Amino acid sequence: MLSQLNIQGLAIIDSLEIDFSRGFNVITGETGAGKSILIKALGLLLGAKANGEVVRKGREAASITGCFEIPKGHRCVEVLNSFEIPYDNKSPRFEVIVRRTVNVKGRSQSWINDIPVTVGLLKDFAEALIDVFGQHENLRILDAVHHTSYVDQFLPDKSVLEKYRQHYNSCMTKFLEITGLVEDFMSKSKDADYLAFRIEEINKFQPSREDYDSILGICQSSGNVTVLAEQIEKAVAIIDQGSDGEPISRMLWEVAKAIRSLESFDSKFAEMAKQASDLASGVEDLSYQLGKKQSSIDFDPTEIANSEERLAGYQSLFRKFASHDIDGLMAEIDRLSLEIKFLDSASVSISEKLRVLAKETKSLKTLADALTKGRHAARAKAKVKIEKEMHELAMPGASIDIEFQPIARASPAADFKLFGEECVEQWETCADHMSSNGETGAERAQFLLASNKGEAMLPLQKIASGGEISRIMLALKKSLSAGADTCILVFDEIDSGISGRVADIVGKKMREISESFQVICISHLPQVAAYADTHFLVHKFDRNKRTESTISQLSKSDSEKEIARLLSGDEISDSSLANARNLMKKARGAEKSS
């Protein structure tokens, strides 16, 4: 149920809070007092299109908040669970707070239990929770799209529908997967030769991350190694072949020998001879160290040349496969390998998947037949119930029927000839089953009506009389109420075009419906208001040179006065008050007798 509705800054409503009761809530008021704004607010709260024009002048935004009490097993719980919106799942009834704001620029924001949600989610939540009925042809009940779901509420075994839906979704998933595989195969098979050529080129070169890293390291270090080897070789050559091919050390030894022969002339030559000997010995040691270093250098010109050639090969592959590095190249190689593998195995894979789908669509056909049989049983039950309600609503000659139209959809074009004759036959069987079944079964339902005896049966949307529309809607909803899964029904002046005895019957029917659902009804009929559990009055007034609208819950005596006003106009007389009391007394008597 909707326990509370809070409206801030919407049209002529500045600030308003309404506490609704569980049963039959009736809202009355003068024309233009703001009754329709309440429906507008409720519509916005439940996902209707928003624009900045609804915001009250002087406000930056309008805000609507609704507090709902929901039974634990209700269908809207699935919506909350699917989007991970928290709620008290331990209580038999729990509270959900829905809030929506609309700013002057027309931008809106929505929340469920303080979790931001999209308008689409808001609509899903609302559709599971509440039905809003208005006066005109845009009523949900008049849209044939919803008729099948109404018929399904009369099904002898509702589990058949759920089993069918689950099986259909499974079949559709596999069906789309197979068509996607075939489309992918046909596309890739056109490039099979190109793929084979590329794979052959790759297999010849045999690239790998390890190989690339190794040759890249060799090529990057080869320049330094070459310079080092060349300079050491040059230094050794100078030392060992210094002058006329003679080692420098030998020349220094000759110098030391010549100086030593002069020691007899001067003792200082002995020191000089020693210096020359030390230089000769040092040069020999330097030659030895350089030779040792030269022999330790791992320098293979052939290996470097081969590595540079292979690196050039990698760079060529990078360009051919539009890769920036070895990781990109290897990823592209993996992709090509998968495509070749797919082409090699697609025929077997598609054949196997088709065999599975053929079995599942056969089971789907069986479930669809069972659902169709159940709907024909539901049709007979619905016809009896709805006609009974219509006759009680002063339409004694009216009759109703339900027409079933088979579903027929075009199957996607797919060529299975490449996979063999068996696959072609299996695909034709699967496509036939999937094209003749939809998410809700093999047929669509549509309600037909003849308002009087002898008239042709016509779709509901062809009905012209506003009074008839109101009663037909009420009869349908009353008949469906036993199996319906909504919690709240809102009627926006659907009693338009009726009066007198029929108006009294409408009020009684709404009161009966409120035993199963919370009913909120905007009405202008005193006969309907007399049946209310809770009576609200909308009225407008001027404050600070501006018009405002407000709503108040009426006591029993105030309700009598409002019903008297509806009976006689603004002038409330003793006779109109007496008539109001009689209406209310009669309504209470009807409730007790029912």
pLDDT of residue 497: 64
More confident residue, 17 or 186: 17
Distances (CA, A) of 439 to 165, 349, 364, 367: 6, 27, 11, 12
Q: Distance between CA 338 and CA 450 in Å, rounded?
A: 64
User: CA-CA-CA-CA torsion for 77, 82, 84, 87, nearest 10 degrees?
Assistant: 0
Average pLDDT over residues 430-446: 91
> Which among 134-148, 294-308, 495-509, 558-572 has the top mean pLDDT?
558-572
Q: Distance between CA 436 and CA 428 in Å, rounded?
A: 12
Q: Distance between CA 504 and CA 509 in Å, rounded?
A: 9
pLDDT tens readout for residues 154-184:
888 989 999 999 999 999 999 888 888 777 7
* H helix runs in 130-208, sequence order: 147-152, 159-189, 192-205
114: Cβ–Cβ under 8 A, 6 or more apart, which residues?
97
Structure tokens at 435: 């094209």
Which residue shows structure tokens 């233009």? Answer: 32
pLDDT tens readout for residues 1-32:
899 999 999 988 889 999 999 899 999 988 77
pLDDT(470) > 70 = no
Which residue shows structure tokens 């929506």? Answer: 100
More confident residue, 557 or 424: 557
More confident residue, 243 or 5: 5
Structure tokens at 419: 């996979």
User: CA-CA-CA-CA torsion for 345, 351, 354, 359, nearest 10 degrees?
Assistant: -130
Q: Distance between CA 489 and CA 133 in Å, rounded?
A: 8
pLDDT tens readout for residues 220-233:
665 555 665 666 66
pTM above 0.85, yes or no: no
Average pLDDT over residues 358-385: 93
* H helix runs in 206-325, sequence order: 209-240, 248-260, 268-296, 301-320
pLDDT tens readout for residues 311-321:
788 888 888 88
**Ramachandran quadrant class, 321 (left: phi over 0; alpha: psi -120 to 50; beta: rest):** alpha
Which class for 594: exposed (0-12), middle (13-18), buried (19 or more C-beta within 10 A)? exposed
Average pLDDT over residues 365-389: 93
Q: Distance between CA 27 and CA 19 in Å, rounded?
A: 12
For residue 130, the 8-state DSSP code is E
Q: Where do the CATH 3.40.50.300 domains begin and end in the chain?
A: 2-141+484-556
pLDDT(473) > 80 = no
**Confidence band (pLDDT; 50, 70, 90) for 153?**
confident
For the chain, what percent of residues have pLDDT higher than 70? Answer: 86
More confident residue, 317 or 441: 441
pLDDT of residue 544: 81
Do 24 and 532 touch, CB atoms closer than 8 A? Answer: yes
Average pLDDT, the chain: 82
CATH classification number, 2-141+484-556, choose in 3.60.40.10, 3.30.1310.10, 3.50.30.30, 3.40.50.300: 3.40.50.300
Within a 10 A sphere around the Cβ of 45, how many other Cβ atoms? 24
Structure tokens at 364: 């789907």
Average pLDDT over residues 432-460: 89
**AA identity, residue 52:** G
62: Cβ–Cβ under 8 A, 6 or more apart, which residues?
7, 8, 9, 10, 44, 54, 55, 56, 101, 102
pLDDT tens readout for residues 102-130:
999 999 999 999 999 999 888 888 877 77
Distances (CA, A) of 91 to 70, 87, 94, 486: 10, 10, 6, 19
pLDDT of residue 464: 44
**AA identity, residue 57:** K
**AA identity, residue 184:** D
Do 3 and 508 touch, CB atoms closer than 8 A? Answer: no
Do 95 and 89 touch, CB atoms closer than 8 A? Answer: no
Buried b (16+ CB within 10 A) or exposed e, 13-39: bbebebebbebbbbbbbeeebbbbbbb
Identify each DSSP E strand in 359-501 by its residue range: 399-406, 443-450, 458-459, 488-492
pLDDT tens readout for residues 266-291:
788 888 888 878 887 887 788 777 77
Which class for 543: exposed (0-12), middle (13-18), buried (19 or more C-beta within 10 A)? exposed
For the chain, what percent of residues have pLDDT higher than 90? Answer: 24
pLDDT of residue 136: 44
Which class for 89: exposed (0-12), middle (13-18), buried (19 or more C-beta within 10 A)? exposed
pLDDT of residue 446: 92
Residue closest to 128 by CA, chosen among 88, 89, 73: 73
Give the three-class secondary structure for 233. helix
Mean pLDDT lowest for which of 140-144, 258-262, 466-470, 557-561?
466-470
| Distance from the Cα of residue 572 to its chain's centroid | 56
